[in-house]
Structure 1
Amino acid sequence: MSFVLSSVLIKIDVIIMSLRIEKKLHNNWKVTKTYKNYTLQSTGFGIKSTDFKVLTETQLLSLKSSLYKKLKTLTSSNITKVHFSLPLNSNLTSLGLESRMGKGKGNILTRLSVVRPGQIIITFSEISWSHIIIILKFIKIKLCLGVKLTFIKY
């Protein structure tokens, strides 16, 4: 019975995600550092986090735009492929100061992405070693997050 109920709930979640309705979720992530390390799936370079941090949607958008500008100045060709693997998996809500209990969670202010230790943030392919070192330092400064480089040989 519980299996059928859980499969029905999963189907409802899939339908909601396909309709792009934003659900208001509580903060249900763990703060502990006991997560398994994620592995790089394709060949190339990956930037992996070593700290726990919560990033907002505006921080991720500014990181993407500034990283693309940095790549454009470093490389003359547009061969470099970049993949961001941070899903916006939570919502930040707020309720007015004078509201009483039982009025819900409030309006959605922004969406959040929870970065855990060992999670791969960005993957690169077809980029040189010297450029990836410059980009690694740039991302450390931009995010204020401990990151390290992982790679798979071609």
Structure 2
Amino acid sequence: MQANKARDTGPERRIRSLLHKMGLRYRVNARPLTGLRRTADVVFPAARVAVFIDGCYWHGCTEHYRPARANDRFWSDKISGNRARDAETNGVLTEAGWTVIRIWEHEDPHEAVNRVAAAVRGAASRRVHLERSAPSS
């Protein structure tokens, strides 16, 4: 289990590299909300976008997840718990006004990055629009 990295995995590094090439700047493995004991893989604080890059096994991908053969009850409970925590995290962040993007490790990185960029740029344009429409003092 020590060989399983919690951060800086191959899919995470690919996504971050493509985001950086697009000119987007972000925080890595940061808490979107200070009171929430969860870290997102990539966070855009100003745009309020949190990106999670989920491994197919650890998060129970419906396409690629294969149940463990040994100690199957333990692993089934573990994956179910991860999925429940993911859903809770999505809900808490969404209620706080954040956009949550979940990317599976098997997804095409370019398509995933385009989704993230659209969310970040959309948030930036909404913020500019709100600032322009606010009454001046």
**TM-score normalised by length of structure 2:** 0.29
Bigger helix share: 2
**TM-score normalised by length of structure 1:** 0.26
Bigger strand share: 1
Structure with greater contact order relative to length (CA < 8 Å, sep ≥ 6): 1
* Structure with max Cα Rg: 1
